[in-house]
Chain A
């Protein structure tokens, strides 16, 4: 069965540095890959979606890459701020009508 793994359970980064989070999947490549942010006690909030045929997608300080050869997506936050501290979840979609199965999530902490 398909597995989605996010590189680490927790990541601590100094403010101002670039945070890089990894999402790896096994077997077949999803048509789309979404990234969400979740704060404690809240539902996830959609951040970015990247399509299988796109190498990179940017939104303000966020950048997502999708490498189907490596079966991996990277999520970058540049010029990180303490307010970026949250859990980040990747979610592959195998079609536009798919249900979302989340990865395990990475808890990101940005220290001042």
Chain B
């Protein structure tokens, strides 16, 4: 089945630094990828939709200059948290939709636990 690999699985960084998270579709091409954030005991909140070769679409309230998304190829999207602060500490999850099988479920990565100290 479709597999999405997310890296790193966890990262600790100092306040003010930037962190990049990668999301790769391993065995299929994903024209669209999605980035979510999840705080403890809460559901996933969609941050942005990443489209290959074009600008990402951000949800209301998400700062596009803080959360930079690049979808440079059909198998890779990256999320960069710029000038991270402790309130950015969260669980970040990506998902990808294969063009022909999107109706059969979207595939999610295993998530990245970001801790900003």
**Chain B residues in 8 Å Cβ range of A101:** 46
Q: In this assembly, does B39 line the interface, its C-beta being within 8 Å of a C-beta of chain A?
A: no
Q: Mark B79-117, 1 if CB is under 8 A from A, else 0.
A: 000000000000101010000001111111111010000
Report Cα–Cα, A32/B111, bound state, in Å: 25
A 83-103 contacts with B by CB, 8 A: 89, 93, 96-97, 99-103
Instruction: Collect the chain A residues with CB atoms within 8 Å of residue B105's CB.
Output: 34, 36, 46-47, 49
B43 at the A/B interface (Cβ < 8 Å)? yes
CB < 8 Å neighbour of B108 from A43, A47, A96, A104: A43
User: Complex: how many Å from CA A44 to CA B4?
Assistant: 12
With A41-B113, A43-B95, A100-B34 as given contacts, are A32 and B46 in contact (CB-CB < 8 Å)?
A: no
A-B contact count (CB 8 A): 52
Q: How far is the CA of A87 from the CA of B97 in the complex (A)?
A: 22
Whether B78 is near chain A, meaning CB under 8 Å from some CB there, is no
Q: Which residues of A contact B106 (CB under 8 A)?
A: 34, 46, 100
B residues touching A (Cβ–Cβ < 8 Å)? 4, 6, 32, 34, 42-44, 46, 49, 91, 93, 95, 102-111, 113
Would you mind naming 10 contact pairs between A and B with Cβ atoms under 8 Å apart? A36-B105, A41-B91, A43-B108, A43-B110, A46-B105, A46-B106, A96-B102, A96-B103, A99-B49, A102-B46
Q: Is the CB of A42 within 8 A of B103?
A: no
Q: How far is the CA of A42 from the CA of B95 in the complex (A)?
A: 12
The distance in angstroms between the C-alpha atoms of A80 and B49, with both chains bound, is: 36
Q: Give the chain A neighbours of B6 by CB distance below 8 A.
A: 43
A42 touches B110 (CB 8 A): yes
CB-defined contacts of A79 to chain B, threshold 8 Å: none
Min CB distance A95 to B, Å, is: 10
Taking A41-B113, A43-B93, A43-B108 as known contacts, 7 extra A-B pairs with beta carbons closer than 8 A to each other, sorted by chain A number, are A42-B111, A45-B108, A89-B43, A89-B44, A100-B95, A101-B46, A102-B43
